[in-house]
Structure 1
């Protein structure tokens, strides 16, 4: 790809000194680009150099991207072209693709925005303008501060306009001004005193009473009513479904998301790190149409099976379910970036499932490269995602081989592989156990125990369901103890 020269009339580059190459800035800026006298107009608070350093640093370091996406959402940039570049970087990062002037230029070209930002040449200029990528998060804080000041100026202008209205009522002006400023403060904070430093017990009691008055809260709909009643899963929860390989973790996770999206029509997302999308679709259709997976895999459906498929096709196709298969794996920050994009577009799912925890890629935050520390960091990160985006997150996890060496094969919390933090971070841990996994001739063949070994919101216990492996489906049996 050859570097592009600044675009012509009508784009964001023209007349914008921030879009000029380095040699065309500051004292070299032609007179037509220079700021007008202060008595002619006031330039909104901004820091062009900090914005450029942020975008340059993000092209140089994936670690810088990880830090910056926690500080900036994109709208904080003063230059529209800078916001376009930022969003393209975040999208590439979220897909696990490399970020550099070449890949970024291709992405912006696909979007039809490359001329609006000044061409590929400007992307190279951004990289060259960075003193060091290590300070990128510091520059991001500066960009956010300038955005806050611009918002404050805008709010002040609106308040002043209210006061200058000749027929304005003073009391109404003061009330409206206060409301505008409080609304501004809310946009800067994560919420009103989210940590509860100043919350009185009276406020908390009233909040509790309001929740109770809102009516019964059955929690997130699940295919198994007994387990749903036991867990009462709500936004912010991290639920771990753990078992040995082949025990039914993926089946259970997909069942939960399928039930939520297909049966209840609520948005859900299933992220698989070990199956192709075709395999997931095979399982989904097998479960919904009750067609053996083997027949689907062989593409040898009988007429009656096609008829069963035709009955469910419409509701499967209309289901707000996303099946995500990240090429090359994914990290927790990348999952967060994808959720943030969905949130910006008002497409955040009501629940997220990830299959499975131990093969999520570490992002370097586990100290010393120790595997236990890496898994600890992944588990904590997933809980933070559930809280940040206010959705329940369901995650499959492997159990260690020590279960197979005991006389009793029933799993325990201590069997969670490679990390004690998984148990600590989770709001609920469900251990999956099938006797016929170890003894095919067991009298309990076809049954699966979902053992609620940890449950912050209620009782622990066991829910027994029917495991129909050939249909990739777990059916309720109405047994709980």
Structure 2
């Protein structure tokens, strides 16, 4: 009797990285049998790459994608097979029969978290082996100094140790209480971030796990706000920041950043037409920018949630886990496993939900910039003006709408020239409905607070 093609080859055990095929099969089979255990499993498994076998990674991604895509997901061998067929991966995992084999491999669904612990443990062992392999390779070729090689090895090992185990998870009120009291005594949430605008800080606080959506019309200043905010976190507060831009390339991003930090007219930077006084300002800002190793600008084409997650994990492996992520902008992002003739509203809803899950997974605020429908032009915007999807309103913890003041006839308001209103349309942790005016300095690619700048 011949064995199915999904059974592994009997390689020399010393040459095979640590893994447990039976545990991987049992976890995936349990997820196919019982939707109720998926949350428990994903709380242990850091990512699909915790699975050693590529086909198991693919199946895990499909199950978790289906699970996060809907508020009442249908997860079983039939729906997962249909999704794999749609993405062209069904043959890569061994066909529908392999999904049935996964289900048949489950001794009991009740032990799914125990099997997940085994998978996570083996994944960490593989990460340790990979970290030591890289350190050995660096040392053999003397690629860096001994101190630099040790620092890199420590960063790799810390990244390998990242991720929680059930023993690390502290959910009980008794476990949380003293930490909460410490926060009350400190007078502020130590994990929250501020913005560079004092006026906004009085209304909005950027907390871990939040999705903050900033909406504006085309050319309405959302990219400018996103860059100003990320620069404040990275350059002023000294915390790692990631800007994932689908709107602009790296050169344009750098021009905007330099304009805002150096006070040089943006058009001169873009056109490379600087005079002596401009160069003096650039040189003055140079030390601040040339040492900004914790400020990452990712202008990779066709950015997806998965690519942003990979970039965040890369930052963590370098010892700079991001404290904030800015995605510019939501409707330009590419959905995972995009399908021909797909409903764009559903795709944007999937992206919005994905960014929310990123914020919760990494416990940081994620700032999603989004564009309004054309119908919002010439009037004060509302939350229903977001282009392509109403799910943005549901997923966001905070929604800020940007609006340039106009007269009743739609012409610019001369009395408020150079101003822009930030409308806090939704704020789960504070007051909503507040309108905060800021100074709009588009020629310097920056916004300024009406109150005294910090």
Gaps of 5+ in 2: 1-5, 29-41, 62-89, 106-111, 124-160
Q: Which residue of 2 aligns with 1:446?
A: 418
Give the conservation status (yes or no) of the 8 Å contact 2:258–2:264.
Answer: yes
Q: Where in structure 2 are the equivalents of 1:44-443 lying within 5 Å?
A: 46-47=20-21, 72=47, 74=49, 77=52, 131-132=94-95, 146-147=118-119, 187-189=164-166, 192=169, 194=171, 199=172, 206-217=178-189, 219-319=192-292, 320-327=294-301, 329-364=302-337, 369-404=342-377, 409-435=379-405, 439-440=411-412, 442-443=414-415
TM-score normalized by the length of structure 2: 0.65
1:406-430 superposed Cα distances (whole Å, 9 cap, x missing partner): xxx1111121222221011111100
Distance change (3 Å), C-alpha of 1:72 and 1:250: closer
Shift of 1:391: 0.8
Secondary structure in 1 matching 2:353: helix
Shift of 1:76: 6.0
Structure 2 CA distance for aligned equivalents of residues 441 and 376 of structure 1: 35
Give the conservation status (yes or no) of the 8 Å contact 1:222–1:256.
Answer: yes
1:381-414 superposed Cα distances (whole Å, 9 cap, x missing partner): 1111000001110111111122226xxx111112
Give the conservation status (yes or no) of the 8 Å contact 1:47–1:143.
Answer: no
Distance change (3 Å), C-alpha of 1:190 and 1:454: farther
Structure 1 CA distance for aligned equivalents of residues 394 and 166 of structure 2: 28
Shift of 1:450: 0.7
Gaps of 5+ in 1: 1-21, 36-42, 55-66, 91-126, 152-183
Q: In the comparison of the two structures, how many residue pairs are matched? A: 345
Shift of 1:135: 5.3
Distance change (3 Å), C-alpha of 1:380 and 1:469: same
Structure 2 CA distance for aligned equivalents of residues 269 and 373 of structure 1: 26
Secondary structure in 2 matching 1:478: coil
Shift of 1:475: 0.7
Shift of 1:288: 0.8
Structure 2 CA distance for aligned equivalents of residues 353 and 207 of structure 1: 28
Query: Cα RMSD over matched residues?
Result: 4.2
Q: Which residue of 2 aligns with 1:456?
A: 428
1:191-227 superposed Cα distances (whole Å, 9 cap, x missing partner): 5365xxxx45x66655532431344238312110121
Give the conservation status (yes or no) of the 8 Å contact 2:24–2:119.
Answer: no
Structure 2 CA distance for aligned equivalents of residues 402 and 337 of structure 1: 36
Structure 2 CA distance for aligned equivalents of residues 371 and 206 of structure 1: 46
Give the conservation status (yes or no) of the 8 Å contact 1:366–1:373.
Answer: no
Shift of 1:228: 1.8
Give the conservation status (yes or no) of the 8 Å contact 2:421–2:437.
Answer: yes
Structure 1 CA distance for aligned equivalents of residues 345 and 219 of structure 2: 23
Structure 2 CA distance for aligned equivalents of residues 286 and 436 of structure 1: 27
Give the conservation status (yes or no) of the 8 Å contact 2:405–2:413.
Answer: no
Give the conservation status (yes or no) of the 8 Å contact 2:208–2:365.
Answer: yes
Between 1:459-468 and 1:411-420, the stretch displaced more is 411-420
Give the conservation status (yes or no) of the 8 Å contact 1:255–1:474.
Answer: yes
Shift of 1:337: 2.6
Give the conservation status (yes or no) of the 8 Å contact 1:436–1:445.
Answer: no
